[in-house]
Structure 1
Amino acid sequence: MEILFLVLTGGLIGLIVGITGVGGGALMTPALLLFGFPAHIAIGTDLWFAALTKTGGLISHHRQGHVNWTIVRNLALGSLPAAVVTGILLSAWSDSPENYAPLLKSALGFMLILTSIALLFRTRISALYGRRQNTQADASGGSWRLIGVGIILGAFVTLSSVGAGAIGTAVLMIMFPYLVPKNIVGTDIAHAVPLTFIAGLVHLRLGNVDFVLLACLLAGSLPAIYVGSALSSRIPGQLMHPILASLLMLLGLKYALF
């Protein structure tokens, strides 16, 4: 019964991800915590969940030419080393994950609040910065800024499993307003896959991954994501996004403050 429950949980979250496009980490990790899984197991397992589920999207976007690899490279120059360093610091902190669990929960709460804000104001951000044409040089010209952003994302994604999706998308909208939506999504996914994979390896090294749990979640979520994608055009995002943003804000406040 427990396995069936986990498969259904993966299916429900996969359905929501398919309908709304909201990153699975922002939903999966809080759900696992609410079901009683320790913070380190929820975060470590969810990082592998994110890496595996987004790999198909990366391949698809790459084939369609939606990925700006210059931006991905510069973000990764900051985020991947930051993920490794964060893992080293966690390992040096304590041999027992329970000792750094409060830090993981606080980081999770902070990132859920930011994700909620990004969801609520995504349309305004897009409208504010417009869709003007620009040159590819912007991606390399802002390389140090991108590396800095990557460092922050790398550390917090490793600590919380949240942020590579909604927050990464908001950052790209602000820094590169000339990118059309499909390029923003493709570029964000192309960066999220190696980041979540490296962060997942960090947590695997720390012993924070439950592969039975991961298999159950994938079994439910992978088919449900496709169903949700098919239903997305029939369910208005104007209805779903505020509800999800409000839920994430409440969960973020819970883990950040309590």
Structure 2
Amino acid sequence: MQIYLPIAEMSLNVFLLLGLGGLVGFLSGMFGVGGGFLMTPLLIFIGVPPAVAVATQANHIVASSVSGVLAHWSRDNVDFKMGLVLLIGGLIGSTIGVILFSLLRSVGQIDLVIGLTYVLFLGLVGALMLFESVRALLRRRRRPGAPRKLHQHTWVHGLPLKMRFRKSRLYISALLPIGVGFIVGMLAAIMGTGGAFLMVPAMIYLLGMPTAIVIGTSLFQIIFVAANVTFLQAVENQTVDVVLALLLVIGGVIGAQIGGRTGARLPAEHLRILLALLVLVVCGRLAYEMTAPPGDLYSIATTEGGL
């Protein structure tokens, strides 16, 4: 059953869109990511213009993240204090990111920038996560009872404005999570993601948070960053397709609840390896799409007058 998307100016199968929303919502609940790093490329693969895909699927991130947070909150796995500090940087970064998005769109370079940014960051983050996760798993199997240190103390842990985050068992400078939130928020606006594919590794390896707390906390701050991106994109660029967003949201809310329950049963190391592999697969497909020769080397554009 086809449905017309007014902003994207195309028709797509309703069940395809519901299925995409459900799949990404499931991954959101399982891994603690908003799912935008996967949804945006998937929408581009099925023909949705990149600018519309980036702006619209932020609605899906909000809905699936709310659903995922509720699932993790019920198990007391959300550090709201850390989430609020991350959110300060995220709101500032996402606002600046939307302004940059508008500038790139005005000069006709936004599609290229979106693609290159995805390939660069997905490839880098996926490779680092996979390497560290496999190493940690092997080390754990060799020494099952040995304690595992998630991060090393460096100069960043000596920054001022220290705060105690009891839920995460941390005492660190507030500038560190604010900086992480800022960078992730800016990328969220440009790439159409909640930024969790960067946020989750940063919270685990840089801030040193427990993996079980990271997932729910990440989803909590994603809600507000993605909502800010959606609002600004709608006002500034008019690229939010409400019909497309609604279908993605319906599937995403259902999928996130199932994913949250599934993720709770898997060991932390296995979750990180699966997420790393998923990130690398999406990166590889997107890189192929950007470098593969087009089916038609030439195209003819006509104006409304037929000239």
TM over 0.5: yes
Contact 1:107–1:256 (CA<8 Å) still a contact in 2? no
CA distance in 2 between counterparts of 1:61 and 1:73 reads 17
Corresponding residue for residue 5 of structure 1:
16
Deviations 1:212-251 (A, max 9, x none): 11111222333234344555659x7598556524312303
Q: CA deviation at 1:163?
A: 5.7
Corresponding residue for residue 185 of structure 1:
215
Give secondary structure in 2 for the equivalent of 1:190: helix
| Alignment match of 1:218 (pick from 237, 249, 272) | 249
What value does the CA root-mean-square deviation take over the aligned residues? 3.5
Does the C-alpha gap of structure 1 residues 255 and 111 become closer, same or farther in structure 2, counting only changes over 3 Å? farther
Contact 2:187–2:195 (CA<8 Å) still a contact in 1? no
Return 5+ residue gaps in structure 2 as ranges.
Answer: 2-12, 141-147, 153-161, 293-307
Q: CA deviation at 1:16?
A: 4.6
Deviates most, 207-216 or 219-228: 219-228
CA distance in 2 between counterparts of 1:159 and 1:34 reads 18
Task: Calculate the TM-score normalised by the size of structure 2.
Answer: 0.68
Task: Calculate the TM-score normalised by the size of structure 1.
Answer: 0.79
Return 5+ residue gaps in structure 1 as ranges.
Answer: none
Contact 1:32–1:42 (CA<8 Å) still a contact in 2? yes
How many positions carry a matched residue from both structures? Answer: 254
Q: Which letter does structure 1 place at the counterpart of 2:212?
A: K
- Within a 5 Å distance, the mapping from 1:63-78 to structure 2 comes to 65-78=76-89
Which structure has the larger Rg over C-alpha atoms?
2
Does the C-alpha gap of structure 1 residues 117 and 85 become closer, same or farther in structure 2, counting only changes over 3 Å? same
- Within a 5 Å distance, the mapping from 1:33-48 to structure 2 comes to 33-48=44-59
Does the C-alpha gap of structure 1 residues 193 and 67 become closer, same or farther in structure 2, counting only changes over 3 Å? same
Corresponding residue for residue 129 of structure 1:
149
Structure with greater strand share of residues: 2
Corresponding residue for residue 90 of structure 1:
101
Give secondary structure in 2 for the equivalent of 1:129: coil
Corresponding residue for residue 56 of structure 1:
67
Give secondary structure in 2 for the equivalent of 1:137: strand
Does the C-alpha gap of structure 1 residues 8 and 120 become closer, same or farther in structure 2, counting only changes over 3 Å? same
Deviates most, 243-252 or 76-85: 243-252
Does the C-alpha gap of structure 1 residues 222 and 33 become closer, same or farther in structure 2, counting only changes over 3 Å? same
Larger RCO, structure (CA 8 Å, separation 6 or more): 1
